[in-house]
Chain A
C-alpha cells in the first residue's frame, strides 16, 4: 500500500532530506502472458490501464512503453485542456474528459496542477468570427460553457494584447471557455502510473513493440524488445507512430504523421493569466507556473517523424506572437521541440475496434489529444474490456472513413491538419 501524499508526508520526508520517498511505481520485467497489453505509456495508455483495473476488474495487465513514461506527446504538448468542440459527438467526448479533469487531483492523490484559468480562442477574420459564434451556440446546446467576447472584452481579459495585431492580425473578437485551462502534463502520467502500479498493473518501460502474433485474424501475442508476451487483447494507444504499429499488424490507417512544435521562453513574472489561442495565425500562448511563456506553433506542412519540426513554422508563430503581444519582442526562447502527431483527415481521433480481432485502436488524436486524456482512457477501457465500442467512442470508429460519417473538427482543433 502506497503512503498517501499529504502535507504531513511532506513534512515527515523533509526530516530525512527527501531521500526516503517511496518509489511511485514498480518497474517489473514482463510476465509471459497478460489478459491485456496496452501499447503506449503516455497519458491515454495509463488512464486506459487505470480504468481497466479499477472499473473492469482486469488486474493482470501491462502497459508497455518504448521510451519512458510520458516521454512522447504527453510530455511535449502545451498542456491545454478545453472542451469547446463543435459537433455533438466531439462535445460528448471532450466534455466527458473535462469533467474527469476537474476531480483528477483528488482521485489520484497526486497534484496534477489543473488550473481552470480559461481559454480564449481569438477570431482574426470575418469567417472565423462566424464559425466561432456558430461553435459557441453549438457548445451551449451541448451544455458546454462558451461565451462570445467583443474586442474590448478580449482586451479586458488580456490587457497586454494589441487588438490591431500590428496591423497584420487584427482581433475581431473571440470565444472564452472559463472552465478550460491547463494541467501539469508530466504529473498526469506519473499520477496515473502510481495509481495503476498500486492496483497491480505492470508498467514496463524501454520495451518496444517489434511485431504482433496474429492467428486466424485474432491477435495472440506481442513481440517486444523484452521478449514475447502472450495476450488476446492489445490496445494501441500511441501518438506519432500508430501507422507504424498498424503496418506491423497488417492494416493501414487514414493518418498522416507530422511534427507539431512548441517553445518555452525564459521565466518572467505573471503577465498573461489565461490561455490565448489564435488558430488563424497558429499562435497559442499561456504562462506556466514557473513563469515561462508556453507557446504552441503549427504542424509541418509535410509528413515527418523527426521530433523537432521545421524552421518556417517556428518563425511564423513567433512573428504572430510578436505582432499580438509587442512587449514579448525582446523575450528569449529557452527551448523548442516537436512531437509527432498522427493527424486524421477530419481532425478527430480513431477510437474502437480494428481490422484485427483483439487489437483496439485509440489513436489519431492529431494536435489535441492531451485535453482528452482521462475521458479517452475511460471510454477506451470500456471498449477493450467489453469488445464493443463505448457509446461515446462509437462515432469515432475507424469505419467512419468508409461510411463517410466524418466528424470535421478542423475549426475547433485550431491547428491546421
Chain B
C-alpha cells in the first residue's frame, strides 16, 4: 500500500487516488497541425521508466486535485509530491536495467 503525500491534504493511502500516467507531457498547441507521428507520440508513447518516474495523480476520493509525484517504480519509494505549477524536487534519479 502506497502512502501518497497529497500536497493539499497530506499523506493518504493509495486507494484514495487515481493515476494519470507520465507527467510533464505537453499537449501539442495545435493538434490539427501536428503529424500523425507527433500525435501518436503524445497520445501513446511512454517513458515507462524502470526507476525514478515523474507521474500525475489525482486525489479522487479527497480534494480531487491533480498533482505530480516522484516515485521509484521498482522499489515504490515515494520521493515527494509537488503541485502541477511547481518545479519537481531534486532527487537522485535511478534507472534500473
Contact = CB atoms under 8 A, between A and B. Distances in A.
Interface of A: 208, 210, 241, 243-244, 248, 252-257, 301-306, 310-312, 345, 401-404
B50 A244 contact: yes
Max chain A C-beta neighbours (<10 A), residue from B21, B47, B76:
B76
B15 to A, nearest CB: 5
5 contacts: A255-B46, A255-B48, A310-B2, A345-B44, A402-B36
Interface residues of B, number: 27
A256 B96 contact: no
Contacts of B1: 310-312
Interface in B45-80: 45-48, 50, 53, 55, 57, 73-76
Interface of B: 1-2, 14-15, 18-19, 21, 36-37, 40-41, 43-48, 50, 53, 55, 57, 73-76, 96-97
A255 B50 CA distance: 12
B34 to A, nearest CB: 12
Given A310-B14, A345-B44, A256 B21 contact: yes
Given A254-B40, A306-B75, 19 more contacts: A241-B50, A243-B50, A248-B97, A252-B41, A252-B45, A254-B45, A255-B46, A257-B50, A301-B14, A301-B18, A303-B21, A303-B48, A305-B50, A306-B73, A310-B1, A312-B14, A401-B44, A402-B36, A402-B40
A255 B2 CA distance: 22
B44 A254 contact: yes
Contacts of B40: 254, 401-402
B73 A303 contact: yes
B70 to A, nearest CB: 13
Contact of A403 (B15, B36, B57, B97): B36
Contacts of B21: 256, 303
Nearest to B21: A256
Max chain B C-beta neighbours (<10 A), residue from A243, A248, A305, A310:
A305
Query: Shortest 8 CB-CB distances between A and B: which pairs?
Result: A254-B44, A243-B48, A252-B45, A302-B19, A402-B40, A305-B74, A305-B50, A401-B44
